[in-house]
Amino acid sequence: MKDSESNPANVGQPQEPGRAELPVSDKSGRADLPVRQGAREEPPPPASATPKSPPRKLMIAIVVFSVLVIGALVLGFIPRWRQREVANADTSQLQITTVSVVSPAPGNPETSLMLPAEIHPWLEASVYAQASGYLKDWVADIGAHVQAGQLLADVETPALDQQLQEAQAQLALAQANLKLAKITDERWQTLLKTASVSVQEAAEKSAARETAEAQVQAADASVQRLEALVSFQRVVSPFAGVVTVRDVDVGDLIVAGSGGKELFHIAQSDKLRVYVRVPESYVSGIFTGETATLTTPENPGRTFTAKVITTSEAISLVSRTLQTELEVENQKNEILPYSFGEITLKDSNKTPLLMLPSDAILFRAAGLQVGVVLPDDTVELRSVRIGRDFGQKVEILGGVSPADRVIVNPPDSLVSGIKVRVQTGETGALAPN
């Protein structure tokens, strides 16, 4: 027994039969491991040996649990991430204004220009009295067709008649004084030849004769003036026409001159003058002799031919238009003077103007503007000048080209430089007017 314990070489060798197994204790003194008698004593494992691994089932459970947790996290994160990305994209899209655009299109090259017209008689005159008095009688009422020099009314002028009689008496007195001055001058000139009178006295008689002659002429002129005024007791028509106004009646007080009341108004309507104001942008197409069409409310469905006879040859500073005069034949008196009409002029502009919808125009402090979408989808505000307004469309005189994309119904907040998105399928060109 002592030999075996003292000899380590005997450890692990078979024991002899009949020996009892004795407990073997480790260095700490514990005798936990039974050892058969006669068996070799195995040394304890070294202190640095690997510890025993956990069971396999536990490892599988841990792996499965980890996979489930990671899968749950992934499945919950991906939808939320996608939803956040979609929300960010939608927000970015909503920040960009969506607009509809249209390209300016040329109008019809053979368009017509319709303008309001004022219709006036070829000749018209307001008839006033030249002699003050009282209306004795009138012989022409409104609507009467009168000839030149035809009597319209008689005026009584008692004060004028008295002035005429006084002037005639002054003329007779002047003529008598002239007769006496002539006789006296002739006698003194005869006496001067015989030196019976002085030269000074003869010259005085000659001067008295000349003075008498001047007085006769003055008196005669006064008589002629009053006789002319008396002749205006007869109020006559200055030319052939129609009486359109009669503003007096029998017994009315008549005051001479234009400061008094208008007695009659005469209009010559067998030919009419038509006045229109042509916009400045169409002045180049107006020329003398050009024909136009006149329509009037009192003749629905009928047209009359008018001809341009003259223009004012100056643009009005107020309306920026050219006053144009046309003439219309009216032998049958189918068109009433002073009525309203419409003149249609042919537009001879060989280059048709561009057209845009009316709702594409922006009214800003800088003037009329439109929003143009550039190739990089940014907006540029451009000032434009418009011509005729057709309601849903307007003519553009300058500022855009047929290749531009003009925003239709732009928002009031539209400014230059912002980015917009053109609505799909909304780009197109206007149809010709």
CATH of the domain at 409: 2.40.420.20
Same domain, 29 and 62: no
pLDDT greater than 50 at residue 358: yes
Q: How far apart are CA 182 and CA 191, in angstroms?
A: 14
- Can you tell me whether residue 45 is helix, strand or coil? coil
Higher local confidence (pLDDT), 76 or 251: 251
Q: By percentage, how much of the chain surpasses pLDDT 70?
A: 79
Is there a domain that residue 315 lies in?
Answer: no
Q: Which residue range(s) make up the domain with 222?
A: 158-232
| Least confident window among 5-9, 377-381, 409-413 | 5-9
Going 53 to 55 to 57 to 62, the CA torsion angle's sign is negative
pLDDT of residue 365: 84
Question: In this structure, what are the phi and psi dihedrals at residue 225, rounded to the nearest 5 degrees?
Answer: -60, -45
Does an H or E element contain 1, and which? none
Same domain, 21 and 87: no
Q: Which positions ≥6 away from 302 have C-beta within 8 Å?
A: 295, 296, 334
Same domain, 358 and 414: yes
Is beta strand 367-373 parallel, antiparallel or unpaired with respect to 362-364?
Answer: antiparallel
Is there a domain that residue 433 lies in?
Answer: no
Is there a domain that residue 299 lies in?
Answer: no
Q: What is the mean pLDDT of residues 340-351?
A: 76
Give the residue among 422, 423, 405, 352 at the shortest CA–CA distance from 103: 405
Same domain, 77 and 103: no
Same domain, 15 and 71: no
Whether this prediction's pTM lies above 0.75 is answered by: no
Q: How far apart are CA 144 and CA 157, in angstroms?
A: 26
Is there a domain that residue 168 lies in?
Answer: yes
**241 CA to centre of own chain:** 42
pLDDT of residue 350: 54
Does an H or E element contain 192, and which? helix 158-193
pLDDT greater than 50 at residue 22: no
Is there a domain that residue 79 lies in?
Answer: yes
CA angle 384, 388, 394 (to 5 degrees): 60
pLDDT of residue 1: 40
Same domain, 72 and 21: no
- Can you tell me whether residue 295 is helix, strand or coil? strand
CA angle 42, 44, 49 (to 5 degrees): 130
The pLDDT confidence band at residue 113, using thresholds 50, 70 and 90, is: confident
Task: Scan for tokens 């304890």, then name that residue.
Answer: 44
Give the residue among 119, 28, 162, 105 at the shortest CA–CA distance from 432: 105
Domain count along the chain: 4
Is there a domain that residue 216 lies in?
Answer: yes
Give the residue among 349, 351, 354 at the shortest CA–CA distance from 285: 349
Same domain, 103 and 78: no
238: tokens are 């200055």
Is there a domain that residue 135 lies in?
Answer: no
CATH number, domain with residue 187: 1.10.287.470
Q: What is the mean pLDDT of residues 203-209?
A: 89
Give the residue among 398, 404, 399 at the shortest CA–CA distance from 430: 404
